[in-house]
Structure 1
């Protein structure tokens, strides 16, 4: 199907894709799916059902300014007149626009995933997007009752347990008497990714609203969405740690290595290790790579009586209770030291230096290899009845959770490790 740019200014690019449907879909992009060539938000799913689409794609993080949107409206009046039904669809910033501009574009149905009410810092407590607010561009931008179309259907999908998005929903809800709400718990702001499914989008556009029907379809999509399980895992940590093990044991999940950042990976592996639930299959499901196992060596204890280890999963120094090490010794290897020198570990009779940079990224280097310019080896110092570990001028200590931190340039009891 041919596409053509029908409007463009510094903030917005609008692309028309003519299909065979009587319904015209206005698909609004978001912060991630900003204008790139002739691409349209959710284009693959919409094209599958041959919808006619106007993709309204943001070129900047400017929340679809009113003047730009009126420019789009003037440019597409002729196109709008060709269709008996107009549906708007978008998430986050796009969800805001789908609601805000329903009246001038004559919407019959609005589908908004985790929309904003406003990004004006005087109107919302949520500070995720307020840096993008420009009074000259976004003046009077909040969604108001006068924006609402009386005979238009509105569907909002959001996570009621996610405080930041719930604030926006609670400000929007009183403005739309006929609002339909679908809850997507424990997904945070990831509703768009979790529900990325062609058949479900088709239902959102065409199917008469029936909450029972939609929840059934949503459950089916969630069950096969790795984004959903990633969100559930991230949101369950701390309060529902056992749920993590249950998910890993019962679900056929395969995340890639970029799904969790380094901090979240460390939290997840600590929970798994402390709950004695780690096996390689679990880690592979989470997209966490495992380096070669280390040999057991002499142990050091921190000020909490926990053993200092090198975690081959997170590639960090940490401390654990001995019983946790006894169960998971394949992954958390007690540090071996005998005298003052560079901190090392031994893998299959090969010695590796434990090195770190100023961003606290830890890497292993073979003793004979050159270090990259940003890396410095950790130093072990032997004192009278204790050892210390330092990076440059900073001494390491372990907190009660077992995280190893380099924060002080003076040596205290918290920085002293004793031989177990």
Structure 2
């Protein structure tokens, strides 16, 4: 029984997670599909799982399976579905801000979702659970927190990225892992040894290892990234890892050449189109970067962080009005995000935030403080009021539209 991962699509006119694979293997499967990226916080989840449990009654083995958001579902609903086993790849423990206050990924979603207490407290899972994840990065907290609640086979695979599903598939390990659980003869120790034995010849592992190197070891990072491409010449992850490093080191022509090919190979996948836009920006080609930003927003117009990213590109390109419009849109889409709220002030006062340059933001806040000190303490007649502050609220503004 599979659970959709994040971004698989909205609505139900689409295949379920892993549907084609299980059909090809002759494995019976039930696919749990959310109507959106809502982390299964639906009032009818209990009824849906009861239906699944009735449909699988009498089966010798029922395995829940999911990746990332799907891994959350595979663990959280295993008991309700009557599962004997659960396979969770790079799962989240919870994204409820009351439970995982430090988690900043998917911020647009975790603020929007109404989290159900019964689905985000301590996990109850009597199924035999296998949790595979990369402990280098934010998934570490989730893996360790899951292990505090339930007995499980916790398999840590460093430098395999999120989700680890991609690495396992690329290394030829995903199919045997699923088969072992279905057959009831899965050996976690043998699997862990096999997963680590072949990683030195895997482009994803080498690419992640390259990206983790400190700046003082740039030669080592580039060597690892080139080796990743040598051992996996067709691997998109290896290509983008090398391109990002080359771009950071000012070798713009090489980076842009790799990314241009990758964008075409991937049929202009948004992930790599964004990387191409960043590479143009690092090369000082702001006009080209702006064109990329326009393409991205035309295809993903409801994603807040892409509006913030495009706003920064527009600002550097001198398109001030567009930058301010886009950052206001980011706030509308992700109300409460302090980074975007600060950026509105920065852009309004002409000093946008640039990571690593402290004085830039300080300048904007000083300007704000000076303006506030000069502002009248008593209200003036309505016809005389002039409001340069960007958070003016009209009477007909919706609650989520915090930018005037």
User: Is TM-score (shorter-chain normalized) higher than 0.5?
Assistant: yes
* In structure 1, C-alpha distance between the alignment counterparts of 2:15 and 2:61, rounded to whole Å: 23
Match of 2:94 among 95, 103, 118: 118
Larger Rg: 1
Deviation digits for residues 286-333 of structure 1 (CA, Å, limit 9, x no counterpart): 55559xxxxxxxxxxxxxxxxxxxxxx9556769xxxxxxxxxxxxxx
Does residue 100 of the first structure (1) align with residue 82 of the second (2)? no
Shift in alpha-carbon separation, 1:193–1:32, aligned structure 2, 3 A: farther
Shift in alpha-carbon separation, 1:70–1:317, aligned structure 2, 3 A: closer
Gaps of 5+ in 1: 1-25, 291-312, 320-353, 363-373, 379-393, 409-420
Shift in alpha-carbon separation, 1:318–1:139, aligned structure 2, 3 A: same
SS in 1 for 2:55: helix
Shift in alpha-carbon separation, 1:257–1:212, aligned structure 2, 3 A: closer
Match of 2:144 among 166, 170, 173: 170
SS in 1 for 2:166: helix
Q: How far 1:120 sits from its partner (Å)? A: 1.2
Paired position in structure 1 for 2:119? 141
Does residue 212 of the first structure (1) align with residue 154 of the second (2)? no
Shift in alpha-carbon separation, 1:317–1:233, aligned structure 2, 3 A: closer
Paired position in structure 2 for 1:244? 222
Match of 1:43 among 19, 24, 41: 19
* In structure 2, C-alpha distance between the alignment counterparts of 1:176 and 1:400, rounded to whole Å: 41
Shift in alpha-carbon separation, 1:355–1:86, aligned structure 2, 3 A: closer
Q: How far 1:88 sits from its partner (Å)? A: 0.7
* In structure 2, C-alpha distance between the alignment counterparts of 1:135 and 1:287, rounded to whole Å: 35
Q: How far 1:77 sits from its partner (Å)? A: 3.8
Q: How far 1:208 sits from its partner (Å)? A: 2.6
Match of 2:39 among 63, 73, 79: 63
SS in 2 for 1:95: helix
* In structure 2, C-alpha distance between the alignment counterparts of 1:317 and 1:187, rounded to whole Å: 27
Shift in alpha-carbon separation, 1:118–1:191, aligned structure 2, 3 A: same
Dislocated runs of 4+, deviation >6 Å: none
Deviation digits for residues 65-87 of structure 1 (CA, Å, limit 9, x no counterpart): 25322121233343211411111
Report which of the two has the higher share of helix.
2
* In structure 2, C-alpha distance between the alignment counterparts of 1:29 and 1:159, rounded to whole Å: 20
Pairs aligned (count): 281
Paired position in structure 1 for 2:287? 356
The TM-score with structure 2 as length reference comes to 0.57
* In structure 1, C-alpha distance between the alignment counterparts of 2:193 and 2:243, rounded to whole Å: 32
Q: How far 1:211 sits from its partner (Å)? A: 2.9
SS in 1 for 2:5: coil
Q: How far 1:42 sits from its partner (Å)? A: 1.5
Q: How far 1:187 sits from its partner (Å)? A: 2.8
Shift in alpha-carbon separation, 1:221–1:38, aligned structure 2, 3 A: farther
Q: How far 1:46 sits from its partner (Å)? A: 2.1
Q: How far 1:181 sits from its partner (Å)? A: 1.0
Paired position in structure 2 for 1:203? 180
The TM-score with structure 1 as length reference comes to 0.55
Report which of the two has the higher share of strand.
1
Does residue 157 of the first structure (1) align with residue 88 of the second (2)? no
Match of 2:164 among 191, 195, 210: 191
RMSD: 4.4
SS in 1 for 2:44: helix
Task: After TM superposition, list the pairs within 5 Å mapping 1:308-327 onto structure 2.
Answer: 314-315=279-280
Shift in alpha-carbon separation, 1:69–1:222, aligned structure 2, 3 A: farther
Q: How far 1:233 sits from its partner (Å)? A: 3.7
Shift in alpha-carbon separation, 1:202–1:244, aligned structure 2, 3 A: farther
Paired position in structure 2 for 1:33? 8
